[in-house]
Structure formats: structure tokens, C-alpha cells
A and B are shown apart, each in its own frame.
Chain A
Amino acid sequence: MRASSLLSESLAVLGKELTSELRSRVALNAVGLFALTTLIAVAYQIGPYKIEEADRPHLLSALLWIILFFGATSGLARVFVKEEDARTAKTLRLAARPLAVFFGKLGFNLILLLGLESLVVPLYCALMSYTVEGVAGLVLVMACGAVAMAASSTMVAAIIARASGSGTLFAILTVPLALPLLVVLIQGTKAAATSAALAAVIPALRAIVSLAGVTLVAAVYLFPVVWHD
């Protein structure tokens, strides 16, 4: 009866998410608007010259991730709530394997985050005169960070959608998942900004990959329960 593979089903969910989003642009507008507004506010109020040279690497790294995190949160949380709101969740629940839904939605959130990073990071570097010594290290931190953040946000988004779409619950659940991740992402970004050597970001990358791995393994076991019960 069920000849499709998990990969094929996940890609179908991802394709549906991308098509829906390109036509409605709800998440794109929310994420883009939130991130650009925060970025411009930070650039206008702080700018490139109001921070001491010695403080620049860690303060600018922290500010960058605050902008990315809040921009992303406005869009990532919606992936399951929109299914409940549109009454498509039950239709999807009856047709797709839970893990196909999770990986399809995770893929969509990952693409959204990578798109956000591609837009915000160059603009931020230009507006804040943020020089990065190790560009390859920064790209790795951004890519792994996007995977980890997308995994935790997708799981939390599923939980809140089943709890009647409470935005407050999203915030409460995201803090313990996002805080350790944000700390290591800021450390990794700071390391990439100050050193051209790839070895400088390795400790942070290890922590980011570990957090992503733990979140993904937990999601594989927890998501079917959250999705169906």
C-alpha cells in the first residue's frame, strides 16, 4: 500500500511548504520585516563607531545573533500553527507519516533561516563595519547554527500548535532550547571574527553540532507522539 519512502514524503511536504509560502509570503514577510527592522534599529542606534574596538568582536557577534534569532522566531513558529488554523492539520495527519511532516517542515525552516542569514549577515557586516577574519569559519557556524535552530524551532512549533497555538508557550519552551545554542553560536561567530584559522571555531562547532544532534534525535522520538496525541 505505502510504496513511498520517507525521503519522498518529506520532499513532498517541503515542496508544498515552499509553494504555499511563495504564494502567500506570510513567513517571508514576517521574517524579513522583523529582521530588517531590528537590523536598522541596531545600526541606527549603535552604528559601527559607538563600541570600543576591544569589545567589538563579542558585542557585534551577540547583536548579530539577537537580530537573527528574533527575525527567525517570527516565522519559524508558524509552520504548524498555520496548519491548525487552516484546518489542514488533520488532513495532513491522516495522509503523511509523522517524520515526513517533521523533516519537510524542518527543511522549510532551514531554508528560511539560511535565506535570512544570507540577507542579514552581509548587510550587518556593511552597516556595522563588522570585519570577519575567518569567513569559512563563519559560514560553517552559520550553516550548523541554522540546522540546530531550525530543529529546535520546528519541534517547539509542533508542541505549541497542539497546545492551541499559544505564542507564550513558544517563548517559554524556546528559552531552554535556544539559550545554550545562542551562547555557543555567539562564541563561534566571535571566534570566526577574530581568527582566520578554521581551528578557532572548532570547539563552538562541536557544541553546535552536538546540540543539533541531540535535538534531532529527541525530535525523531517525540514528534510522532506530539503530532498524533
Chain B
Amino acid sequence: MICFAAVTRVRVSFEKVGKRFDTRTVLAQLSGAVEPGRVLVVAGPNGSGKSTLLNILAGVIRPSRGEVRYRQNEEDIPRARWFAHLGVAAPDMAVYDELTAVENLMFFARLRGLEARPDSIGALLEELGLGAREHGRHVGTYSSGMKQRVKLAQAVIHEPAVLLLDEPSSNLDTAGHDAVARLVDRFRSRAAVAVATNDPREMAWSDARIELAL
């Protein structure tokens, strides 16, 4: 059994956030929040800065201006502890091709201090539509849709308080999209969720929306 931590409620707020890459401004003066119990959808055309905003919220890139705050029970979360609360799945992320799906998730669970067993990991993979027959194969032999399912599983294996999903249904078939929708629904009540997307089906998950423009 995976030993989940008690549910924590974390709020991510951003104030007048901007990002420049060399001379190009990608984001300018953007404010908002990812609230517990709500799904924030970030929409906009390609190149409008959806992924950049999620990367800034995740803390993997620094904004050129403005501030991002991570707060739990009205107290700031230090950066060193922030990643423990966070789950991310994005197109610029991958899991290890040389490992099986179960080995990948065992690895990420161990890094996060969880006591994960193959059967509980198998249950999570099946929830995302990856059948037991596939669990023992190296991820390198998977299709892009199957890899996406493993990537989503690593994002939620520790039941994060904040879940950031960038194009979560990319490469997935209808069944895969439905599995992601169920996953988002499960996290809606217990976590703060942000989804960057242009897919109208994913936009329908929103409780709040940010529209970015070029």
C-alpha cells in the first residue's frame, strides 16, 4: 500500500508575473491563483506562454518580474519543501525508457519517501488505463500514449497538494482522455489543479480560466 500523507491544502498565487526570453516577452503582468478544490485552466494559442506560466508556477524557471507565493495554512512554504507538495506532467518531461513502468514509479515513490508496492503501483497504472500486461515492459518499447499514462502516474503517485498538467491528454485516445478526466475529478476536491490546454474537452474541466494571447 502506498502510504499517502494527510491531505494538505496549498494555494499558489502569482502577482504581476512576467517572463522575457532575450528580447521576446512571453508573459506580462499576469496575476491569479491556483486554489485548493478548484481547477484553473490556462488557455491560449501556441507560443502564448501557457507552458512558461506552468513552469514558473512549478518553480523550475524564475519569472523575469513579479512574484509567486506558495502558501499552506497561511504560511509560506520554503522552496526546499515546495517540490514535495507538487505533481507535474508536461510535454518536456519524460520517464526512464530503460525501466519498466512499475520500476519507474517505484523509483519516483522512493525519492518521495513513499513505501510503494508493485501491486499498489499496478492499481494506479490501471486507473490510468495501462493494463497489467504492459507493466513489466520497458517504457522505451511503449507508444507515446502509454508513456503519457506513466508520466501522469508519476505526477500523482504522492497525492500532491498541487497538480500542474500541461496538455495532459496529448497522445491519448478517447479512453485515455476519459481516464485523465477521472483523475482531474479525483484531485479537484483534494488539491489545487492547473491545466494548460487548447483542447475544448479539457477546457470544460475549468472552475477558473486564464486566456493568454500572443
- Which A residues are within 8 Å of any B CB, using their own CB? 1-4, 8-9, 12-13, 15-16, 19-20, 23-24, 86-88, 90-91, 93-96, 100, 228-229
- Which B residues are within 8 Å of any A CB, using their own CB? 5, 8, 58, 60, 62, 81, 83-86, 88, 90, 92-99, 103, 107-108, 110-113, 138, 151, 154, 158
B36 CB, nearest partner CB in chain A, Å: 16
A17 CB, nearest partner CB in chain B, Å: 10
Nearest B-chain residue to A96, judged by Cβ: B111
Quick check: B111 and A95 within 8 Å, CB to CB? yes
Nearest B-chain residue to A16, judged by Cβ: B107
Task: Give the docked Cα–Cα distance between A24 and B88 (Å).
Answer: 27
29 A-B pairs (CB sep. < 8 Å): A1-B8, A1-B84, A1-B85, A1-B113, A1-B158, A3-B113, A4-B110, A4-B111, A8-B113, A9-B110, A12-B107, A12-B111, A16-B99, A19-B99, A19-B103, A20-B96, A23-B138, A24-B98, A87-B94, A88-B95, A91-B93, A91-B94, A91-B108, A94-B58, A94-B60, A94-B86, A95-B83, A95-B112, A229-B62
Task: Give the docked Cα–Cα distance between A206 and B6 (Å).
Answer: 50
Quick check: B112 and A86 within 8 Å, CB to CB? no
A20 CB, nearest partner CB in chain B, Å: 4
Quick check: A12 and B113 within 8 Å, CB to CB? no
Tally of contacts, chain A with chain B, CB under 8 A: 74
Quick check: A9 and B111 within 8 Å, CB to CB? yes
Chain B residues closer than 8 Å to A9, beta-carbon distance: 110-111, 113
Quick check: A90 and B60 within 8 Å, CB to CB? yes
Quick check: B96 and A16 within 8 Å, CB to CB? yes
Partner pick for B99 among A20, A87, A90, A96, CB 8 A cutoff: A20
Chain B residues closer than 8 Å to A229, beta-carbon distance: 62
Partner pick for A86 among B62, B96, B107, CB 8 A cutoff: B96
Chain B residues closer than 8 Å to A1, beta-carbon distance: 5, 8, 81, 84-85, 113, 158
Chain B residues closer than 8 Å to A100, beta-carbon distance: 111
A14 CB, nearest partner CB in chain B, Å: 11
Chain A residues closer than 8 Å to B158, beta-carbon distance: 1
Nearest A-chain residue to B107, judged by Cβ: A16
Nearest B-chain residue to A22, judged by Cβ: B98
**Contact A4/B113 with A19-B98, A91-B94, A95-B83 known, Cβ cut-off 8 Å:** yes
Quick check: A86 and B97 within 8 Å, CB to CB? yes
Task: Give the docked Cα–Cα distance between A100 and B111 (Å).
Answer: 9
A-B contacts besides A1-B8, A86-B97, A87-B94, 10 pairs, CB < 8 Å: A9-B113, A12-B107, A19-B99, A23-B138, A24-B98, A88-B95, A90-B60, A94-B58, A95-B108, A95-B112
**Contact A23/B58 with A90-B93, A100-B111 known, Cβ cut-off 8 Å:** no
Interface centre among B62, B85, B111, B138 (most CB of A within 10 A): B111
Chain B residues closer than 8 Å to A93, beta-carbon distance: 60
